[in-house]
Amino acid sequence: MRDYRQFYINGQWVDPLTPNDFEVINPATEDFCALISLGTADDVDLAVAAARQAFSSYGRSNRQERIELLESCVAIYKKRYEEVAVAIREEMGSPQTFAMEEQADCGLGHLEEALRVLRDFEFEEEVGNARVFKEPIGVCGLITPWNWPLNQIACKVAPALAVGCTMVLKPSEIAPLSAHIWSEIMDEAGVPAGVYNMVNGDGPGVGTALSQHPDVDMMSFTGSTRAGVLVAQNAAPTVKRVAQELGGKSANIILDDADLEQAVERGALHMFSNTGQSCNAPSRMLVPAAKLAKAEEIAARTAASVVVGDPADEKTTMGPVVSKAQFDKIQGLIDAGIAEGAKLVAGGPGLPEGIDKGYFVRPTVFSGATNDMRIAREEIFGPVLTMIPYDTEEEAIAIANDTVYGLAGYVQSGDMDHARQVASRIRAGNVKINGASGGYAVPFGGYKQSGNGREWGAHGFTDFLEIKAVEGYEG
């Protein structure tokens, strides 16, 4: 059992001012695997004060100093890489292979990408008779979720460090183990005292205090749209910048000229990846009506191929969902899909066969759904695929855009020009054609209620920078 009850403030591991033990549950076993303490506004005050003090010097550090710091972070992360993966397996039930190859890789990938961008980033330019400077915004409050715990920490901390900001991180209390190891990495890498701080806690106790704090200059939040609205409301009185990456209900349009077998299998496997707990998951599969029966067969066969079980077993391809609350929510939405008349093609309610413990969900496929059903409107955040038939391409595009969200979109086609044309009409911040991935340099973020701002790569620097124009600079 891990004892992670201390916070990291001003370069030191410190006890919470008011102890409040919280058990972290391993979702595969339902046993607790660690203890943390939930912080309070008083702990946030200490961390913000440390960050504010550190900004007076780190905010004026030069590029080379920050390059060397990120190089050190990369080196230490590589040493701790496997520990990070094991922690993610324990805290959220990620299968070991997926934790090693995908989840833990995110931390390293974002550090290396921030380092690459920093080497050549233009922090100033001439505009007319003015010199325009891009300066660090100041003290940043970072709130991260449990579904990609290291990804969301790294894609915020790395660019903030790169541009000269200081910060206070509140990781998810549901999956805080990898965040603790990340904080140890920051310490061992030599991040100056106060530049990076970490306080565990829940939204009401720590998240609200960070968002409202007058000495926090910007908030970067990843999580549900509901919680994102609260962060923005709490931040509004101090007029601080708020960058948000929120929910999604992404459409995967399989065009009539696509290879149906390949497109359906790829889309279904993507949906079941990370147990469906990804905000950009292709949860609505739009299929030509004439091909729906065949697509159902492919999706059912793909669901049957998913190996659900012990995350420590290398044969496992899908672990549990993160908590009982998530399990209950998903079960309720599966029941709703059945009640609303969608056709259950695979999976369904209850635990998978042969499993009697843990928050495991059956890989589930609904078909014949309409876009007004709950399973097509709400973010289920579990391994549940909703297949919706369409008659015309115009109808498919309309269905794809008929959502309050706009985080991601997917297009499958055998004709690249055709795919590009359809992709251009999807109202989403990230669209993938035929399963392509651009890596850590590609900006990530959403339209509409999926948030604002962009993370990853050079675009991820923007929200952490202020713009200063000095007119007459050249004399």
Mean pLDDT of 433-449: 96
Average pLDDT of the residues of the chain = 98
> How far is 51 from 285, CA to CA, in rounded Å?
45
Find the catalytic residue in 91, 112, 173, 245: 245
* Per-residue pLDDT reduced to its tens digit, 300-325: 999 999 999 999 999 999 999 999 99
Q: What class, spelled out in words, does domain 251-439 have in CATH? A: alpha beta
Please say if 113 is a catalytic residue. Answer: no
Q: CB within 8 A of 382, min separation 6: which ones?
A: 275, 276, 277, 321, 326, 329, 330, 333, 361, 364
pLDDT in tens, 24-34: 999 999 999 99
Looking at the DSSP assignment, which residues form a beta bridge with residue 69? none
CATH topology of domain 2-246+450-471: Aldehyde Dehydrogenase; Chain A, domain 1 (3.40.605)
* Other CB atoms within 10 Å distance of the CB of residue 376: 24
* pLDDT bracket for residue 475 (50, 70, 90): confident
pLDDT of residue 474 exceeding 90: no
Domain ranges of the chain: 2-246+450-471, 251-439
Per annotation, catalytic residue among 73, 140, 155, 279: 279
Predicted TM-score (pTM) of the model is 0.97
Interval 373-426: pLDDT, tens: 999 999 999 999 999 999 999 999 999 999 999 999 999 999 999 999 999 999
Mark whether 245 is an active-site residue. Answer: yes
**Residue 472 CB neighbour total at 10 angstroms:** 8
Residue 21, pLDDT > 80, answer: yes
